[in-house]
Amino acid sequence: MSPAIKCLIGGVALVIVGCQSSQPVPKDRFFRLEAVTGAVAALPVLNEGLYVAPLRAEGPYAERAMLYASANRPRELQQYHYQHWSEPPAALLQEHMRVSLQAMAFAPRVTDVSTGSGIGFVLNAKVLRLEKLTDSDGGVEGGKVRAVVALHFALQRKQPFALLLERSYMVEEVVSENTQHGYVIASEVALKKVYIRLADDIKSLPK
């Protein structure tokens, strides 16, 4: 057998071995949010229907890829490659907010439809933060992992028009199970705390 043929056979063998030893490509995983429950007051916080407007989200917060950062580099956001929200965060949180605020008896009616009777208030919101924060540089192992949620709200009355409240809220919730599923559950807890704080501030507004 000629040296050239030997080299060719050896090269093919190396390629085959390399293919057999390569790791399988991870599967994409998608995560959704479950609505939170539990009334925030004996009576609805608002006395008329509430329209939850489409949320604003910019930069990486507008994408479906889940984000993480390390506590020692909190300004550096990174994306997971195979773990995504089921929808872009703006759409995901609008629906979560609508269903959760209705379940929490925030208003007699909570809707994402801007037209119709009985709507007296409009809630605008912007996603400021929605990420996993960990004490490790890798973002997934070691340290105390937390879910970070920050939203900016502007509550308006329609008739007569008035800006009743404009405020930002941020909650960090410890992730009890260091998995993406555990992070999502902690995010739901953080969101409920944000909604409760919003409700408390609205209840304290002058009548």
Per-residue HEC secondary structure of 168-201 comes to EEEEEEECCCCCHHHHHHHHHHHHHHHHHHHHHH
Average pLDDT, the chain: 88
Exposed/middle/buried for 182, CB within 10 Å: 0-12, 13-18, 19+? middle
Looking at per-residue pLDDT, the higher value among 86 and 135 belongs to: 86
Query: For residue 178, what pLDDT band results from cuts at 50, 70 and 90?
Result: confident
142: left (phi over 0), alpha (psi -120 to 50) or beta: left
Q: What is the pLDDT of residues 129-168, one digit of tens each?
A: 999 998 764 444 446 899 999 999 999 999 999 999 999 9
